[in-house]
Amino acid sequence: MTYAQAGVSVDAGNALIETIKPFVRSTKRPGANAELGGFGGLFDLKATGYQDPVLVSGTDGVGTKLRLAVDTGIHDFVGIDLVAMSVNDLLVQGAEPLYFLDYYACGKLDVDVAAKVVKGIAEGCKQANCALIGGETAEMPGMYKEGSCFDICRQLCLNIFKHR
């Protein structure tokens, strides 16, 4: 079975990547080049200047705010909120946001909607001074109500603080 036979548009996925490249690049910071293309994000801890760093990681989501995004047609704010909720959970532990990985899942990929979400994630990363170093777009026909739903709830944010 091909991707197309399964209802997945490789062309839409490629179009999304091209659309979001400038958003991702705008999150560049020391330790991350903020370029797309690999299957894993890279971050150089030496570039941060920390001595004896300890990684702090967390996962969060935006929950029912997704319903507001779908109902209003305004999608960028959930990306900003997603980063904020993830970063806030780690700031309380004294962590500095370094990088962020996103996950976007939908039944049918709408490049415009997905790009707006990622643009919001990039804006949240810029506000938190962390780089968007990678992510995943999952187009899963039949798993979400087509044309109205997507999920960005399984996000991962890793941060660092100086061990005392």
pLDDT, tens digit, for every residue of 77-135? 999 999 998 888 888 888 888 999 888 888 889 999 999 999 999 999 999 999 999 88
The reported pTM is: 0.88
- The two tokens of residue 23 are 């958003």
pLDDT class of 154 with cuts at 50, 70, 90: very low
- Could you tell me the pLDDT band of residue 151, with boundaries at 50, 70 and 90? confident
Nearest to 136 by CA among 113, 86, 102: 102
| pLDDT of 132 | 92
Residue 14's pLDDT band (cuts 50, 70, 90): very high
Q: Rounded to whole angstroms, what are the CA distances from 6 to 23, 106, 109?
A: 29, 14, 13
- Judge whether residue 162 has pLDDT over 70: no
Q: pLDDT per residue over 18-64, tens digit each?
A: 999 999 999 999 999 777 777 778 888 889 888 888 888 888 888 88
Residue with tokens 């890793």: 158
What mean pLDDT is predicted for residues 2-20?
92
d(CA 94, CA 25): 26
Question: How many helices (H) does the chain have, and how many strands (E)?
Answer: 4, 5
* Residue 146 predicted with pLDDT over 80: no
